[in-house]
Each structure stands twice: as C-alpha cells, then as structure tokens.
Structure 1
Amino acid sequence: MSDQESSTSASQTEGELEGEMEGDEELDEGQRDSVPSLSSTLLAVIRIKQKYQALKKRRQVMALSLGEAGTFTGAPVRTSPKIFTFDGITPSSAVPLKKKRRRKRRVMFPNGRRQRAPPKQEQSRAKYCLYLLFAIVFLQVYNAIENLDDHVLRYDLEGLEKTLRREVFGQQGAVEGLLSHLNDYLSTYVHNKPLVVSLHGPSGVGKSHLGRLLAGHFRSVVGEALVLQYYVLHHCPQEAEALQCANDLSTLISQMVVRAEEEEKIPLFIFDEAEHMHEEILDALWQLVASKQSNEYLNAIYLFLSNLGHAHITKHMIQNSSSSSMSASHRHSNLEKELTPILRNTLEKLHLLWTEADILPLGLLEKSHVMECFLDEMTREGFYPDHVNIERLAGEIEYYSSVGGHKYSQTGCKQVVAKVNLL
C-alpha cells in the first residue's frame, strides 16, 4: 500500500471516530447502561473522551481561579497545544516592566567639512584696557631712557674722554675713574646729593692741567656762566679776608645753581690748590655739599685739586715700582685700592668736607711721560719735534732712583714749559 492510500484511510478513520464521539455525547448515562450490545472498542473510546472532557473542565476551573487571584487575567485559555508564537499576547498591566536606562551617547562631531565648532569662550573687554596700559607704560619707560641718553649726549662725554686721553699723560687710570663718576652722575637730572670728586697727587702730575681741560669742555656745553674755576691764592690770598671770601663764594654758588636750575643744566665748580683753602671757606663748602639743601643745590659737580697726601702716594709708587709686569690701568687700580683708605683717613682729620668726596689718587710720572709733555709743548710752540733734543731736555729733569725699571720724575712736567721757553 502506498503512502497516499495510508494517509487517506487514516483521515477517514479519524473523521468517523469524531462523528461517533459527537453522536454519543447526546446519550445519557441511562442510555449507555441500556445498550449492552456496543462493542468494547467503542466503549473504550467513549471513556477516553469522557476523561478528556473532565480534564478540560478542570483546566478551565483552574484558569478561572488563577484569574481571580490576579495572575495573568488577560491571558487566553489554551484548549489545545499550538505552535508557540507571540501573536495575541498582550502585556499585563499588573506586572511592572523594568525600564532600561538609556546610555548617554558622547557627542561626536563629523569628520567632514561642515564640522561643528566648539563653543567659544567669551573674552573679557578688560584685556584690551590692560594691553593699552602695557603699551603706555612701555612708551613712558622708553621715553625716559631716551631722555637719559639725550641728557648724557648734551655733555658730550665721549668728546671729553678723547680730549683727556690725548692731552693727559700717565694718568689713564685716574681719567677712567673720573669719567666713570661723571657718566653715572650725568645720566640723570634728579639726584639726592651733589657729585664731589677730590683729585690728589704730587706736584707736576697734571692736576691743574686736568682741571683746565674740564673747565674748557664744560664751558662749551653748559656755558661760561655755569663754570667756576676758583684759585684760592688768587681769589682769597689773605687769611684775614677768609670769612668774607666764604660769604662771597656761597653767594656766587647760590646764584649759579639757581640759574642752572632754570636752564636745566648742571654747573661745574673747580677748586684748584685746595691745600691752601682757609677753614672758613671749607666750612661754607661743606654746608653746601653735606646739608639737605633744595633741589638746585643737589644738581652740581664739585672738583677739588690738591697735593694733600702726596707723601703717601710717592712712597707707595717707589716701593711698588718693582712690579714692572703690571699694566698702567692695573697699576692705578692697585694704587687706588691701597691708597684710598689711607688718604681718606688723613683728609678727614683735616676737615669733614672730604667725608663727602670720592677720592682719586694721581701717580708719579715716568721719564716716558715727561718726554710726551716736551713733545706736546714743543709742537704747540712751533718747534721741530726732534727726538734727540726732547730726550736731552727730559734728561735734565730730576728723577728718583730707578727701581724695577721705572724712573719717576720728582717734579713731573712742571718744568717743561720753562725749558721749552728757553729754546
């Protein structure tokens, strides 16, 4: 028998069985008892059907009881096994569903041309005011520096340096020290004290010549009225007139500093031969220098030239002349370092004026320096600068005994002018 025929017979048997079961439902228990002639197979089928119906009713009762208890009230009653699907199932309102937290996604900007620009921070407008303030301060500082340079240029210190190096012989260290003081003082117009410099050295080393060069240079830059050359033996030769000389000098200095303040210039006062100055004059000058005067008295330069302490300088130069390997500048720095405390101690005992002064010692002149003095003087007077004649004239000068290859003149260049005039 083929598969088609077997499936057809099976479907027919099931249909007949169902028809008989439906017909038998109408029979009550009395009719079943009264039909003894039914076959045993049919009775078995009827019993199975009755059990199936009883089981079905029991399940319905259980489903109703569970619905009253509140579990799955809206769930459909299953009468027969079916294929499991989600169709027809509605979520129960009694069972709370757990909400899923949505993850916050990071904001990602696209890589294309139209990129979203990040938010800009608002800049404070006070920054522009701060920048403007910086610019104003910078301009003021720059202008102040330019004014300082202009103030120094007014006095032409470079020209003064060239003049002193060319015409002052054997005192390069002292010249450098003096120019350093002038440059520091003249770089500004506001001072808390006047500049006081005291040059000390033996006779003939060039103190008066240095004073004349300074006076001539300052006359050309600040004017004749703001430069004073005071020679004590000329302006105040009598000691009896010292008090009157001191009063006249104080009045003259006051007039000059007031005029210099009006013209915004710094005056120069040169006191030559300060070793001959009387006590009253020194007291008057000390009152002008040391006391807290008004601003015009603070803007002034005082230069004192004297041979005070020359014995210490001469002794030091002769004892240390063996160090021939030293250069001229190094020799002067050593001279200033060792002699300044000795000279200051000696000068302060004479008067308090030198406590306010910067002391610069001038050393002895060697024979080569004296020959330069002869060459310069002979050129000024129009003589032919014959080297043999210059050496002969320099040999007529008195010298200290030669020590360490150095031969120092006892009178410096003081006799040069007199000997050239005899030619």
Structure 2
Amino acid sequence: MRATYKTLFGCVLISSVLVNALGSISAMLVGAGLGGVAVAAVYRYLLESENCNSKWTHFNSTGLEFDLDHKLFGQHVASRVILKAVTGFMNNKNPKKPLVLSLHGSTGTGKNFASELIAENIYKEGMASSFIHQFVSTVHFPHQRNIENYKSKLKQWIKGNVTICPRSIFIFDEMDKMQPGLIDSIKAYLDYYKNLDGISYRHAIFIFLSNAGGEKIMQVALDFWRAGRDREEMELKDLETALSLSVFNNKQSGFWHASLIDKNLVDFFVPFLPLEYKHVLLCGMAEMAAKGLKPNHDVATQMAREMIYTPKTEKLFSVKGCKTISSKLDYYT
C-alpha cells in the first residue's frame, strides 16, 4: 500500500527510531571506513527525512477552520462537525480511543477533499506524508474469495504503521463497495483499549468515505427546500440518525451490519449535502485559481449551467457535484 508497509517485511527504512540513534549510526559508518563527508550526508538525510515528531506532525486548528470555511463549498454541517471533532481530538493528550469519522454523501460533494484538508493541517507533508495510508476498496480489496487474506493483511498494515507512528491516519475510500465483514476485522483497533499487544491506537485517526446514504441526505435537503426552509438551517441532528441506520442496513455497503456501528465506535457520521448551482459556480472559480488562471465568472457560469441537475422537476442538485469541474475547465480554457 505505502512504503511504510514494505519496510516492516524486508525493506530498509531509516525511521524515527534510527534518528534517535544517530550516534550509533555514526560509529558504524566510521567503523566501515566512511569519512566525515559521508557521515555528514547520512546525518543530513536522517534529519531532513519525515519523522513522527512535532516538526512533521503539528496540528493547525486555525488553518483547518479557514480551509473548511473557504475551500469546502456548500458543506456547513460537515465543516462544523469535522472542525470540532478533529480539534477536540488533536488537543486531547490522552484520548480514550482513536478518532473515527465516516463521511457520507453523493459523488463530488467534497468527502475526499475534506480528508485532504485534515491531512494538510496535521502533517507538514500533507497528503504526501508517509503517515497517511489510503485504501480504495475496488483496488485493494476487490475479490470476495480473498477476504480472509485481506483481513489478515489489513490488521498487519495498521499495526505496523501505528508502531512506526502513533499519529497515523487511515483513509478507507469506497466503503460502499467494500466486501461486507472486512472492516470489522479492525474493530479492536478502534475500540477503547489502552493498548493491544503493547501498542496503543488511541492517537490514530480513521476516516471512512462512502456514497452510501447519499440518497437519504439528498431527500432531507430536498424536504428542507420544498418546505421553504434555508439550507443553512440543517443541523447534524437532522441527518445523523437516519444516515447511520441507512448505512447499517445497506447490504451493498461495507458497513452492512458492521459491529463498528453496532458498538458505537464511529464517533461521527458526517453528512455531505448535495451541491446546488451556486456551489458548482464557486467550484469553477476556485479551480481556475488553483490552476493559476484568472477566475472568469462567464466561464464558470457556462460550466455550471451545463452540469446535470436532479430531481427532474426542480433541477436543484448537481448529479456529479463538482467532480468533473477540473476536466471541464480544461475544455473551456
């Protein structure tokens, strides 16, 4: 999956453990006949390589709040929940369990992007950090016949990487396509245990991403609109209970009858609302700026208008959210 997994089973990794033993390494290098220049080069490599310490992992609460408010469009509920959950967890020096977030919503609503914002405000290297581990169900766990092997490997990957860095993040994408029963294999790592076999998982973060529950969220948003209520009036309580039940009872979901839900180990089910025309417009403007282009309102308007919206009568929500904005921008510019 990531380089850190490979290092546990035969490859060489110069990790934070070795950094704490610089003196010993120096002695070995000198003993091997290497001169001062070579020793200095190794020292420099070790000191400049990412390590699991405050230089490389430092939470920026202000940065996360700014990013959620100004970069994640149309998601006032998700932004509020994520900010409070992550800030509270990161500021807690002695959490009782890992932070477990399950992000739900239709495609293109910002679930992956929200995960990136979290990573960028915890790790100096952002999503490129070696302490972030991503799993995509259709890529890493595609075959039902191999589920027992997947379970074993998944537990090894998590255990090995938390051993290297307790402040690790594990992101599971396409939970709606995961083999049922697989995710329960890591239940013990998400529970309230102080340690398992001498390893504490309490400082890790687990993020699940899923399209499951998207229809339920869309229905609540549509009901608000039809009732003449403002979108920003929606709160977590309006969505979370129905969302968790929908996911738990969805036979097509990796959470189907999962004990993670039954045992209340998921801290927050975070709903991502369907995006409206105004949000797609903002995505277009932001994408132009991200690509170093001067934001052009006419171009953004043209892209937003050509998106497909649902339901057929109201045409209120973008079917693909902002997912295809980047490729459309390449066409229009």
Q: TM-score, normalised by structure 1?
A: 0.57
CA contact 1:399–1:408 (8 Å) conserved in 2: yes
2:81 maps to amino acid: G
Pick from 152, 155, 163 the counterpart of residue 247 of structure 1. 152
CA contact 1:200–1:310 (8 Å) conserved in 2: yes
Cα deviations across residues 252-277 of structure 1 (Å, max 9, x unaligned)? 2112222224xxxx221111111112
Cα deviations across residues 121-173 of structure 1 (Å, max 9, x unaligned)? xxxxxxxxxxxxxxxxxxxxxxxxxxxxx9xx931121122122222111122
Q: Are 2:78 and 1:169 aligned?
A: no
The match for 2:248 is 348
Pick from 287, 300, 320 the counterpart of residue 411 of structure 1. 320
CA distance in 2, matches of 1:282, 1:204: 24
Q: Are 2:173 and 1:272 aligned?
A: yes
Identity across the alignment (%): 25
CA contact 1:322–1:403 (8 Å) conserved in 2: no
Using a 3 Å threshold, how does the CA distance of structure 1 residues 230 and 365 change in structure 2: closer, same or farther?
A: same
CA contact 1:154–1:221 (8 Å) conserved in 2: no
CA distance in 2, matches of 1:293, 1:224: 26
- What displacement does 1:280 show? 4.6
Alignment of 1:58-73 (within 5 A): none
| Gap regions ≥5 residues in structure 1 | 1-149
Cα deviations across residues 228-264 of structure 1 (Å, max 9, x unaligned)? 1222222223333332222222112112222224xxx
| Gap regions ≥5 residues in structure 2 | 1-53, 250-255
Q: Which has the higher contact order (CA 8 A, sep 6+)?
A: 2
2:82 maps to amino acid: L
Name which of structure 1's ranges 219-228 and 181-190 shifts more when overlaid on structure 2: 219-228
Q: Moved runs in structure 1, 4+ residues, more than 4 A?
A: 401-404
CA distance in 2, matches of 1:344, 1:327: 21
Using a 3 Å threshold, how does the CA distance of structure 1 residues 293 and 238 change in structure 2: closer, same or farther?
A: farther
Using a 3 Å threshold, how does the CA distance of structure 1 residues 403 and 326 change in structure 2: closer, same or farther?
A: farther
Answer 1 or 2: which has greater helix percent: 1
Q: Are 2:139 and 1:229 aligned?
A: no
CA contact 2:141–2:150 (8 Å) conserved in 1: yes
Pick from 286, 299, 302 the counterpart of residue 187 of structure 2. 286
CA distance in 1, matches of 2:116, 2:177: 19
- What displacement does 1:325 show? 5.3
Using a 3 Å threshold, how does the CA distance of structure 1 residues 382 and 182 change in structure 2: closer, same or farther?
A: closer
The match for 1:390 is 300
Cα deviations across residues 343-395 of structure 1 (Å, max 9, x unaligned)? 22233341222231121111111101000111112233344422222211111
Q: TM-score, normalised by structure 2?
A: 0.71
Q: Secondary structure at the match of 2:156?
A: helix
1:187 maps to amino acid: N
Alignment of 1:50-61 (within 5 A): none
Alignment of 1:2-401 (within 5 A): 154-220=58-124, 224-261=129-166, 266-290=167-191, 292=193, 294=195, 296-324=200-228, 326=230, 328=232, 330-331=233-234, 333=235, 336-349=236-249, 350=256, 351-354=258-261, 355-357=264-266, 358-401=268-311
Q: Secondary structure at the match of 2:226?
A: coil
Q: Secondary structure at the match of 1:219?
A: coil
1:289 maps to amino acid: L
Using a 3 Å threshold, how does the CA distance of structure 1 residues 382 and 226 change in structure 2: closer, same or farther?
A: closer
Name which of structure 1's ranges 314-323 and 395-404 shifts more when overlaid on structure 2: 395-404
2:187 maps to amino acid: W
Q: Secondary structure at the match of 2:274?
A: coil
Cα deviations across residues 167-213 of structure 1 (Å, max 9, x unaligned)? 21111221111110112212222122221111111111111222233
- What displacement does 1:398 show? 1.1
Cα deviations across residues 214-234 of structure 1 (Å, max 9, x unaligned)? 233333179923221222222
CA contact 2:225–2:231 (8 Å) conserved in 1: no
1:164 maps to amino acid: L
Q: Secondary structure at the match of 1:361?
A: strand
- What displacement does 1:316 show? 1.4
The match for 1:72 is none
CA distance in 2, matches of 1:185, 1:229: 20
CA RMSD, Structure 1 to Structure 2 (Å): 2.7
Q: Secondary structure at the match of 1:279?
A: coil
Using a 3 Å threshold, how does the CA distance of structure 1 residues 403 and 162 change in structure 2: closer, same or farther?
A: farther
